[in-house]
Amino acid sequence: MEPTKSELEILQVLWEHGPSTVRFVNDKLNEEKRAVQYSSTLKLMQIMAEKGIVMRDESSMKHIYSPAEPEDKTKSALLERFVDSMYKGSASSLVMQLFGNKNTSAEELSEIRDFLKNLD
Amino acid sequence: MEPTKSELEILQVLWEHGPSTVRFVNDKLNEEKRAVQYSSTLKLMQIMAEKGIVMRDESSMKHIYSPAEPEDKTKSALLERFVDSMYKGSASSLVMQLFGNKNTSAEELSEIRDFLKNLD
DNA sequence: TCAAAGGTAGGAAAAATTTCGTACGAAAAA
DNA sequence: TTTTTCGTACGAAATTTTTCCTACCTTTGA
């Protein structure tokens, strides 16, 4: 299913730090993003569990949440939807926009060139 | 400001077809996307005008709406926000994901290689 | 002229998303 | 044991976004 904006923030914490408690996620959000109440984060993560976006291990009192799908799979899906809706599915259009209007570091560029070279 | 999902759909019609009436945009949405009432599209476009996302020419009875910002500028901003939030700002990560997990056509690939070659 | 068609405006309702207060149970500390 | 701390659950409220009803005006065609 479709993660909402707030759900995505939570997923990102789980991706970065692995399976976590609500407390941990909430702390990270407050450190890295914005003020948010514990109960709000809890509620959101409960909803995500209902939707099947995350799995919940209830064996101990402190429930442990983890992403239901691998990070790559979710990100790919989101990226693909982004390309489809914004660039009519043209990956090259996206790349050109990405490097046309932005100043990307030389390292990044050569990294990409190498990557593309080895793609065949 | 931030276009919402529905607002983005409208912007895309305006980008593709140029300045348009509400009627025209609504028809396109119904053709290309989904069933939506004229008054819903009207309302949304009025809100977008208030927010400054689109400009409105009221000189004739049929108001003409056009994007307030150039397509590239808006798309770049959205893309940048996407990269920042999903790939911590790393354009190369995005590109690798884009081509790693997806089967991109050979044409697209060479197009991009050429593009990157001429970037310096 | 006058009805029909097509336009805008505005408000209210509906739906989706986000936030948080409160209750209550378990664990830990005093 | 008793109190405090820390956890979940639940429901309701607030906010944001989306949808559409209705009123009313202008243009067009019969």
The structural domains of chain B, with segments of one domain joined by +, span: 5-67, 71-117
The shortest CB-CB distance from B91 to any of A76, A86, A108 is to A108
Q: Is the CB of residue A116 less than 8 Å from the CB of residue B96? A: no
Alpha-carbon gap, residue A84 to A50, rounded angstroms: 28
Residue in the structure block whose two tokens are 């660039």: A87
Say how many CB pairs under 8 Å bridge A and B. 84
Those residues whose C-beta lies under 8 Å from the C-beta of residue B85, and which sit 6 or more positions away, are A8, A12
Burial class (CB in 10 A: 0-12, 13-18, 19+), A101: middle
What average pLDDT score do residues A1-11 get?
95
Residue B103 has pLDDT above 80, yes or no: no
CATH code reported for the domain at A5-67: 1.10.10.10
- Tens-digit pLDDT profile for residues A63-83: 999 999 999 999 999 999 999
β-partners of residue B67 are B54
Residue in the structure block whose two tokens are 């077809």: B17
Those residues whose C-beta lies under 8 Å from the C-beta of residue B32, and which sit 6 or more positions away, are none
- Tens-digit pLDDT profile for residues B17-73: 999 999 999 999 999 999 999 999 999 999 999 999 999 999 998 999 999 999 999
- Residues constituting chain B: 120
Q: Within an 8 Å CB–CB cutoff, is residue B91 touching chain A? A: yes
Nearest to B92 by CA among A74, A12, A98: A98
CA distances in angstroms from B106 to A11, A100, B27, B73, B101, listed in the order given: 33, 21, 36, 28, 15
Q: Is the CB of residue B49 less than 8 Å from the CB of residue B65? A: yes
How far the first Cα of chain A sits from its last, in Å, is 33
Type of residue numbered A25:
V
Question: Which residues of the protein are close to the nucleic strand D, CB under 7 angstroms?
Answer: A 21-23, 38-39, 42-43, 46, 58, 61-63; B 2, 4-7, 36-37, 39-40, 42-44, 47, 61
Average pLDDT in chain B: 92
Res. A101 pLDDT band, cuts 50 70 90: low
Higher per-residue pLDDT: A106 or B72: B72
Least confident of A2-6, A81-85, A116-120: A116-120
What average pLDDT score do residues B98-102 get?
75
| Surface of B (16-45) touching A: CB under 8 A | none
Res. B120 pLDDT band, cuts 50 70 90: low
DSSP state of A51: H
Span CA (B39) to C1' (D21), Å? 9
Closest residue of chain A to B6, computed from CA coordinates: A85
The shortest CB-CB distance from A80 to any of B82, B96, B102 is to B102
| Nearest CA-CA distance, residue A63 and chain B, Å | 26
- Tens-digit pLDDT profile for residues A10-31: 999 999 999 999 999 999 999 9
